[in-house]
Amino acid sequence: MICKTLLLLILTVRNVSSSLESSGLSVKLNDVDYFISPFSQGRAYDQPLDAKSRGGQFGFVPVTVIAETSTNITDLLTNWTRIDDVWQPGFLTTIILASSGRSRSRPVSMTYYPNFTSEILPLQESSRIPSGPYFLDTYTGEVHQAFRLYDDFAGAFTQSLLQKPDGTFQTLSAHIQSSASLTIGVPSRLYFTATKEKPLAGVRVGVKDIFALAGARRSNGNRAWYGLYPPASQTCAVMQNLLDAGAIIVGLQKLSQFSNGETPTADWVDYHAPFNPRGDGYQDTASSSAGAGSSIGSYEWLDLAVGSDTGGSIRGPAAVQGVFGNRPTHGIVSLDNVMPMSPSLDTAGFLARDPYIWGAAQAAMYKGNYTSYGSFEYPGKLYTLDFPTEDTPTTKILNKFSADLAAFLNATVTPLNISKEWENSAPTQVGSNTISQLLNLTYTALITMDQTQLLRDQFYKDYAAVHDGRLPFVDPVPLARWSWGDEQPDYQRTNAIENKTLFMDWFNEKILFRSPNTKTCSSSIILHTDSTGSLSNRNRYLNPPALPFGFSNGEISVFAETPDSVFPLGEIPVQSTITNHTELVPVAVDVMVAKGCDGLIAQLALDLVEAGIIKKPKAGSTLNGGEILLRRGDVPLTSA
């Protein structure tokens, strides 16, 4: 009887299954915030260790693994402080050293780093654990990766992600002291070595919240969307290309809703606009890849941000944050499982501070459709399109750059008047219509008529089905655009494609054509500018949303499908109405080459940096770094 009861009890207990799973741990080491990955990297040490006597927490102790044999450890550690923001001397209490040949029974102490004495333990011979900082599980001898935790003070991210060993994603379960912002975790750079197969090994990437990542939900900048749909079951092909190249995705980033251009702050209803770190800290980030621009301008710990550009969504944020950004050749890579605006115009590209990483990322994402660094000879023709003529600091910067570039190319600067070219050689079908008349409605027709059909209609249907016929909330800008699209007759879209094609064929044949020399690829380089170093305060009351009619030079590449990239050139002083102080805002230029010649641009950026014509921008309040306004005050005021 008793036995039976006991058995029943055991069975009952077994039936109430409970699954306790670690999603990682947050700790502080010498006052720096860390995250202990829940995933083991393997067994580094094969004896039990006493955690308590080593100042452990939850059975973990910080350790430094040194897998290199016969190296000068002091030199190695000094190098690490220079190249990695995760490792610090706090990991030195225990060093697990390869081929240390030390007897296990007699652990030795060594001082490899000024003022830090370490206990040396032997690294398991069979382990293939790369060097770096880890947290050692003292029960199992397994090591877990260390992530440094950072505050997303610029509000650039929508979600913080942890990349699992199988390449899928889960939420990073960490939060550090911060006001209304997320915590982002980055793994030590020491774990990764770039190779030919994995050129992006360890490169830390933020991703616009429109790309499907297996295991993660996405928002497309809309709360209702985020709540409605389950996590993606598969990572989209473009992001898989980056993962295959070794990139580490650390989070999803904000965009203006459904990638429609929004201006802070009134337009940004569902999510608050991210902050532009440059100047007074209260300038528009531009959109739609707003989080991408904000993060690359703000965070030295982030290497790369993936954005999308339909009508300027990468180039705008790159320009006003003073970083590199590319709209690639249209169709260079498949955008399956990426939120559409208009498939005839949508592209995916990058924002970065380092042109080398920028180029490597493009090579990884665009694969066979991209030709890499070092393969090109430069075209001998350089055009400028509508450069300003008034004598201003911005004009000086632009003119200096075009003159320097001309000298570098052994070319002369020739102003290009596209209206005049059009008058001379426009296709006969367009009659006497100017480019503006031909293309005034084209962009608006394509993005509204495509997005309503490809995205909105199913979204509304799905939302209504589970919410008793309700409509989801949509921000004013996409709503105004979609309403305009609803009023258009079907032929408007057909006309839009026709007009786009007429312009594209003309431009790619008459103005910016492929060079007969495949090494040169592009017949010329065309410079234009949409970023003239002007102020756009985020504390302004704006008019109701207007539709994006009209034509600007930034739309040439949109219709002609050519690559168009932003190079940061410098900055100009402006009097901020917010700080009542002179602040610096970035000036950038757009560089266009012929369709399919994308690799030429990153190569040019790298060569111009090497030649000292442009500089790699830094994160901070200026292109040379500097404390960001939002962060000032980190030094506490002494109380009166």
Specify the residue, 300 or 423, whose C-beta has the smaller distance to ligand NAG: 423
Q: Please name which of 261, 298, 264, 292 lies closest in space to residue 278, comparing C-alpha atoms.
A: 298
> Rule CB under 6 A: is residue 233 a binding residue for ligand NAG?
no
Q: Which two tokens stand for residue 425?
A: 């050689």
Sheet containing 581-592, strands listed edge to edge, beginning at the edge strand earlier in sequence: 169-171, 157-163, 248-253, 204-208, 304-308, 348-352, 324-327, 564-576, 581-592, 525-528, 382-385, 413-416
Binding mask 291-310 for ligand NAG (x = CB under 6 A): --------------------
Q: Binding of ligand NAG at residue 492 (CB under 6 A)?
A: yes
Please identify, among the stretches 144-152, 343-351, 366-374, 523-531, the one whose residues bind ligand NAG according to the rule CB under 6 A.
366-374
Q: Which is nearer to ligand NAG, 22 or 429 (CB)?
A: 429
Three-class SS state of 43 = strand
Question: CB of 378: closest distance to ligand NAG in angstroms?
Answer: 4
Q: For the chain, give the longest Cα–Cα distance.
A: 103
Given a contact cutoff of 8 angstroms between Cβ atoms, the answer to whether 288 and 219 are in contact is no
Residues 23, 30, 69, 74: which binds ligand NAG (CB under 6 A)? 74
Q: What is the token pair recorded at 381?
A: 């023709």
517 binds ligand NAG (CB under 6 A): no
* Closest CA relative to residue 246, chosen from 205, 212, 217: 205
* Only segment of 158-166, 338-346, 431-439, 452-460 that touches ligand NAG (CB under 6 A): 431-439
Single-letter residue type at 519? K
Residue closer to ligand NAG by CB (options 51, 535) is: 535
- Residues 545 to 564 in contact with ligand NAG, rule: CB under 6 A: 549
Contact yes or no for 507/442 (Cβ under 8 A): no
**Beta carbons within 8 Å of 183's beta carbon, 6+ residues apart:** 33, 149, 150, 151, 152, 160, 172, 174, 175, 176
- Which H or E run contains 145? strand 142-151
Q: Which of 182/238 has CB closer to ligand NAG? A: 238
User: DSSP 3-state assignment of 133?
Assistant: strand
Counting contacts by CB under 6 A, is residue 54 touching ligand NAG? no
**Binding of ligand NAG by 497 (CB under 6 A):** no
Stretch that binds ligand NAG, among 122-130, 409-417, 615-623, 629-637 (CB under 6 A): 409-417
User: What is the nearest approach in angstroms of ligand NAG to the Cβ of residue 168?
Assistant: 22
463: CB partners within 8 A, 6+ apart: 224, 228, 470, 471, 472
Phi, psi values for residue 298, rounded to 5° = -100, -35
Q: Residues with Cβ < 8 Å from 580, sequence gap 6 or more?
A: none
Regarding 331 and contact with ligand NAG (CB under 6 A), the answer is: yes
Establish if 193 lies at the interface with ligand NAG (CB under 6 A).
Answer: no
Q: From the CB of 37, what's the least distance to ligand NAG, in Å?
A: 25
Across 253-270, b (16+ Cβ under 10 Å) vs e yields bbbbbbbbbbbbebbbbb
Q: Which of 22, 69, 72, 414 binds ligand NAG (CB under 6 A)?
A: 72
Examine residue 223 and tell whether it contacts ligand NAG (CB under 6 A): no
CB 200 within 8 A of CB 350: no
Choose which of 495, 501, 532, 552 interacts with ligand NAG (CB under 6 A). 495
Task: State the DSSP code for 346.
Answer: -
Q: Closer to ligand NAG by CB, 98 or 290: give it.
A: 98
423 binds ligand NAG (CB under 6 A): yes
Looking at the Cβ atoms of 79 and 99, the one nearer to ligand NAG is: 79
Residue nearest to ligand NAG (CB): 331
Contact residue for ligand NAG among 378, 383, 387, 482 (CB under 6 A): 378
Q: Is 19 in the site for ligand NAG (CB under 6 A)?
A: no
Considering beta carbons, is residue 162 or 438 the nearer one to ligand NAG?
Answer: 438
Selected range binding ligand NAG among 289-297, 303-311, 365-373, 632-640, rule: CB under 6 A? 365-373
Q: What whole-number distance in Å separates Cα of residue 372 and Cα of residue 359?
A: 7
Point out which span in 4-12, 68-76, 538-546, 583-591 binds ligand NAG (CB under 6 A).
Answer: 68-76
Site for ligand NAG in 96-135 (CB under 6 A): 114-115
**Residue 333 found at the interface with ligand NAG (CB under 6 A):** yes
Can you give the three-state secondary structure of 450-514, one letter per residue? HHHHHHHHHHHHHHHHHCCCCCCCCCHHHHHHHHHHHHCCCHHHHHHHHHHHHHHHHHHHHHCCE
Shortest distance, position 453 Cβ to ligand NAG, whole Å = 16
| Backbone CA torsion sign across 484, 488, 492, 494 | positive
Q: Where does 326-414 have alpha helices with state H? A: 355-366, 393-409
Measured from the CB atom, the residue of 367 and 616 that comes closer to ligand NAG is 367
In 3-state terms, the chain is what percent helix, strand and coil (to 5)?
Answer: 30, 20, 45
| Size of interface with ligand NAG, in residues (CB under 6 A) | 37
Residue with tokens 């600007």: 552
E strand or H helix at 148:
strand 142-151
Q: Is 420 in the site for ligand NAG (CB under 6 A)?
A: yes
- The reply to whether 88 sits near ligand NAG by the rule CB under 6 A is no
Minimum distance from CB of 437 to ligand NAG (Å)? 5
Closest CA to 147 of 192, 185, 184, 176: 185
Residue 207's contacts (CB-CB under 8 Å, 6 or more residues apart) are: 213, 239, 249, 251, 252, 253, 305, 306
Q: Which of residues 435-454 bind ligand NAG (CB under 6 A)?
A: 436-438, 440-442, 445
Q: Which is nearer to ligand NAG, 250 or 502 (CB)?
A: 502
Distance CA 236, CA 252 (A): 14
Cβ–Cβ under 8 Å, residues 54 and 94: yes
Contacting residue, 394, 499, 515, 603, with ligand NAG by CB under 6 A = 499
Footprint on residues 572-591 left by ligand NAG (CB under 6 A): 580
**Contact window for ligand NAG (CB under 6 A) among 126-134, 260-268, 326-334, 571-579:** 326-334
Is the Cβ of residue 128 or residue 420 nearer to ligand NAG in the bound state? 420
Could you tell me the smallest distance in angstroms from the CB atom of residue 418 to ligand NAG?
A: 8
- The residues binding ligand NAG (CB under 6 A) are 71-72, 74-76, 79, 114-115, 331-334, 367-369, 378, 409-410, 417, 419-420, 423, 430, 433, 436-438, 440-442, 445, 492, 495-496, 499, 549, 580
